[in-house]
Structure 1
Amino acid sequence: MVSFSCRTKSMTSFKKMLLGATGIALIASGAYIFARPPQKTPPKTHFTLQLLHASDMESDLSALESAPYMSQLLAGFKGRMPENTVIVSAGDNYVPGPFYQASAHNSMKALLGRTGRGRADISMLNAMGFQVSSFGNHEFDEGPKFFASLLGKDAKRGKVYPGAAFPYLCANIDFRTEKTLTKFVTKDLQEASNIRGRIAKSAIITLPKTRIGFVGAITPALAQISKPGAASIFPKRPDNEDALVTLIQRAVDGLTQKGIDKIVLLSHMQDLQVERRLARKLKNVDIIVGGGSDSILADKTDRLIKGDKAIDSYPIWETSASGQPTAVLSTDGQYRYVGRLVIGFDEKGVLLKHTYQPEESGAYPTDSQCATDIGAPPPNKKVQALVDGIRRLFVKKDGNTFGRSNVYLNGMRLGVRHQETNLGNLTTDANLYVARLAEPTVHLSFKNGGAIRSAIGAVQGDTIDTSKPRHLPPPANPLTGKKEGQISQLDIENALKFNNRLILLTLTATQLKQIVEHGIAKWHPRYTPGSFPQISGFSFSFDPKRPAGQRVRSLRVDAFDKQPADTIVKNGALVGSPTRTFRVVTLQYLFKGGDNYPFPKYDKEKLNPVLLSNVLKDKPGKATFSAPGREQDALAEYLFAMYNKTPFDQQDTPPERDTRIQNLLKRKDTVIPK
Structure 2
Amino acid sequence: MGSGNTFTLQLFHAADQEAGIPALDDAPRFSAVLNALKDEDTDGDGNPDYPNTLILSSGDVYIPSPFFFASETAFDGQGRGDILIQNELGFQAIGIGNHEFDLGTGNLADLIQADEETDYPGTLFPFLSANLDFTTDDNLAELVTEDGQEASDIPNSLAGNTIITVDGEKIGIVGATTSTLPSISSPGDVTVRPLEFDSSNPEDIAALASEIQASVDQLLAENPDLNKVVLLAHMQQIAIEEQLAELLTDVDIIVAGGSDTLLADETDRLRPEDGVEGPYPILKTSADGNPVAIVNTDSNYKYVGRLVIDFDENGIIIPESIDPNISGAYATDEEGVLAVNGTPDPEIIEITDALREVITEQDGNIFGRTEVFLNGTRGDVRTQETNLGNLTAEANLAYAKESDSEVVISIKNGGGIRDNIGQILVPAGSTSSDEVERVPPQANELTGKEEGDISQLDIANSLRFNNDLTLLTLTAEELLEVVEHGVAETAEGATPGRFPQIAGFAFSFDASLPAGDRVQSLAIEDDEGNIIDVMVENGELVGDPDRTFRLVTLSFLADGGDGYPFPDRDRVDLARAEDAERTGEATFAPDGSEQDALAEYLVANFSETPFEREDTPPELDERIQNLDFRTDTVLEGGRDPLLGTNANEAIVGSGNEFIYSSIDDAGDVIDNFEVGSDRLVFTELLASLGYEGTDPIADGYIQFGSEGDSSIILLDPDGREGSEPARPFLSSTALPVTELDYTDNG
Q: TM-score, normalised by structure 1?
A: 0.89
Equivalent in 226, 236, 244 of residue 260 of structure 1 = 226
Displacement after TM superposition at 1:237 (Å) = 1.3
Matches of 2:513 and 2:13 in 1, distance apart? 37
Equivalent in 6, 23, 33 of residue 73 of structure 1 = 33
Question: Which residue is 1:185 aligned to?
Answer: 144
Indicate if the aligned counterparts of 1:43 and 1:346 stay in contact, CA closer than 8 A: no
* Cα deviation digits, residues 287-340 of structure 1 (max 9, x gap): 111111111111122222222122211111110001000011111111111111
2:292 is aligned with 1:333: no
1:307 alignment partner AA? E
Displacement after TM superposition at 1:88 (Å) = 0.5
Displacement after TM superposition at 1:73 (Å) = 1.3
2:546 is aligned with 1:585: no
2:172 alignment partner AA? G
Question: Which residue is 2:540 aligned to?
Answer: 573
Question: Which residue is 2:586 aligned to?
Answer: 623
SS at match of 1:190: coil
Q: Using a 3 Å threshold, how does the CA distance of structure 1 residues 564 and 571 change in structure 2: closer, same or farther?
A: closer
Question: Which residue is 1:644 aligned to?
Answer: 607
Question: Which residue is 1:612 aligned to?
Answer: 574
Indicate if the aligned counterparts of 1:448 and 1:532 stay in contact, CA closer than 8 A: yes
Matches of 1:522 and 1:323 in 2, distance apart? 31
Displacement after TM superposition at 1:465 (Å) = 2.2
SS at match of 1:168: strand
Indicate if the aligned counterparts of 1:559 and 1:566 stay in contact, CA closer than 8 A: no
What are the equivalent positions in structure 2 for 1:174-573 lying under 5 Å apart? 174-239=133-198, 240-257=204-221, 258=223, 259-376=225-342, 378-461=343-426, 464-465=431-432, 467-559=434-526, 565-573=532-540
Q: Using a 3 Å threshold, how does the CA distance of structure 1 residues 615 and 345 change in structure 2: closer, same or farther?
A: closer
Question: Which residue is 1:46 aligned to?
Answer: 6
Question: Which residue is 2:19 aligned to?
Answer: 59
Indicate if the aligned counterparts of 1:503 and 1:611 stay in contact, CA closer than 8 A: yes
SS at match of 2:9: strand
1:437 alignment partner AA? E
Displacement after TM superposition at 1:43 (Å) = 10
* Identical positions, percent: 48
Displacement after TM superposition at 1:45 (Å) = 6.4
Displacement after TM superposition at 1:221 (Å) = 1.6
Indicate if the aligned counterparts of 1:411 and 1:454 stay in contact, CA closer than 8 A: yes
Matches of 2:14 and 2:380 in 1, distance apart? 22
SS at match of 1:672: helix
Matches of 2:420 and 2:116 in 1, distance apart? 38
1:69 alignment partner AA? R
Matches of 1:305 and 1:669 in 2, distance apart? 36
Indicate if the aligned counterparts of 1:45 and 1:352 stay in contact, CA closer than 8 A: no
Indicate if the aligned counterparts of 2:10 and 2:50 stay in contact, CA closer than 8 A: no
SS at match of 2:119: strand
Q: Using a 3 Å threshold, how does the CA distance of structure 1 residues 54 and 620 change in structure 2: closer, same or farther?
A: same
Matches of 2:598 and 2:55 in 1, distance apart? 39
2:137 alignment partner AA? E
Indicate if the aligned counterparts of 2:205 and 2:243 stay in contact, CA closer than 8 A: no
Matches of 1:164 and 1:460 in 2, distance apart? 35
* Cα deviation digits, residues 141-170 of structure 1 (max 9, x gap): 1111111110011112xx410110110111
1:253 alignment partner AA? D
Matches of 1:562 and 1:222 in 2, distance apart? 37
Comparing 79-88 and 417-426, the one that deviates more: 79-88
Matches of 1:466 and 1:44 in 2, distance apart? 44
Displacement after TM superposition at 1:456 (Å) = 0.6
Question: Which residue is 1:13 aligned to?
Answer: none
Comparing 354-363 and 413-422, the one that deviates more: 354-363
Indicate if the aligned counterparts of 2:93 and 2:151 stay in contact, CA closer than 8 A: yes
Displacement after TM superposition at 1:355 (Å) = 0.8
* Cα deviation digits, residues 567-600 of structure 1 (max 9, x gap): 111111101111111110000000111001112x
SS at match of 2:411: strand
SS at match of 1:103: helix
Matches of 1:498 and 1:507 in 2, distance apart? 25
Matches of 1:430 and 1:263 in 2, distance apart? 49
1:160 alignment partner AA? D
Q: Using a 3 Å threshold, how does the CA distance of structure 1 residues 84 and 581 change in structure 2: closer, same or farther?
A: same
Q: Using a 3 Å threshold, how does the CA distance of structure 1 residues 195 and 539 change in structure 2: closer, same or farther?
A: same
Could you tell me which runs of 5 or more consecutive residues in structure 2 were left unpaired when the two chains were aligned. 41-48, 199-203, 637-647, 649-746
Displacement after TM superposition at 1:199 (Å) = 1.0
SS at match of 1:582: strand
Comparing 250-259 and 626-635, the one that deviates more: 250-259
* Cα deviation digits, residues 509-560 of structure 1 (max 9, x gap): 1111111110111112212110000000111111111111111111111035
Matches of 1:342 and 1:496 in 2, distance apart? 38
Question: Which residue is 1:89 aligned to?
Answer: 57
Matches of 1:632 and 1:277 in 2, distance apart? 38
SS at match of 1:341: strand
SS at match of 2:270: coil
1:431 alignment partner AA? N
2:61 is aligned with 1:100: no
Q: Using a 3 Å threshold, how does the CA distance of structure 1 residues 248 and 634 change in structure 2: closer, same or farther?
A: same
SS at match of 2:298: coil
Question: Which residue is 1:132 aligned to?
Answer: 93
2:123 is aligned with 1:155: no
How many residues are aligned here?
618
Q: Using a 3 Å threshold, how does the CA distance of structure 1 residues 578 and 327 change in structure 2: closer, same or farther?
A: same
SS at match of 1:642: helix
* Cα deviation digits, residues 238-296 of structure 1 (max 9, x gap): 23222211111111112222121111000111111111000000001001111111111
Matches of 1:529 and 1:343 in 2, distance apart? 32
Matches of 1:436 and 1:391 in 2, distance apart? 37
Indicate if the aligned counterparts of 1:443 and 1:560 stay in contact, CA closer than 8 A: no
Matches of 2:431 and 2:467 in 1, distance apart? 34
* Cα deviation digits, residues 210-247 of structure 1 (max 9, x gap): 22110000011211111111111111112322221111
Q: Using a 3 Å threshold, how does the CA distance of structure 1 residues 187 and 438 change in structure 2: closer, same or farther?
A: same
Displacement after TM superposition at 1:629 (Å) = 0.4
Displacement after TM superposition at 1:563 (Å) = 9.2
Matches of 1:615 and 1:366 in 2, distance apart? 40
* Cα deviation digits, residues 38-74 of structure 1 (max 9, x gap): xxxx996601111111111111000011000111111
Q: Using a 3 Å threshold, how does the CA distance of structure 1 residues 342 and 539 change in structure 2: closer, same or farther?
A: same
Indicate if the aligned counterparts of 2:271 and 2:431 stay in contact, CA closer than 8 A: yes
SS at match of 1:290: strand
2:565 alignment partner AA? P
Q: Using a 3 Å threshold, how does the CA distance of structure 1 residues 562 and 639 change in structure 2: closer, same or farther?
A: closer
**Alignment root-mean-square deviation, CA:** 1.8
Which structure ranks higher in relative contact order (CA pairs < 8 Å, sequence separation ≥ 6)?
1
Matches of 2:19 and 2:299 in 1, distance apart? 9
Larger radius of gyration: 2
Matches of 1:396 and 1:234 in 2, distance apart? 43
Indicate if the aligned counterparts of 2:60 and 2:258 stay in contact, CA closer than 8 A: yes
Could you tell me which runs of 5 or more consecutive residues in structure 1 were left unpaired when the two chains were aligned. 1-41, 110-114
Q: Using a 3 Å threshold, how does the CA distance of structure 1 residues 614 and 398 change in structure 2: closer, same or farther?
A: closer
Displacement after TM superposition at 1:467 (Å) = 3.2
Matches of 2:235 and 2:33 in 1, distance apart? 26
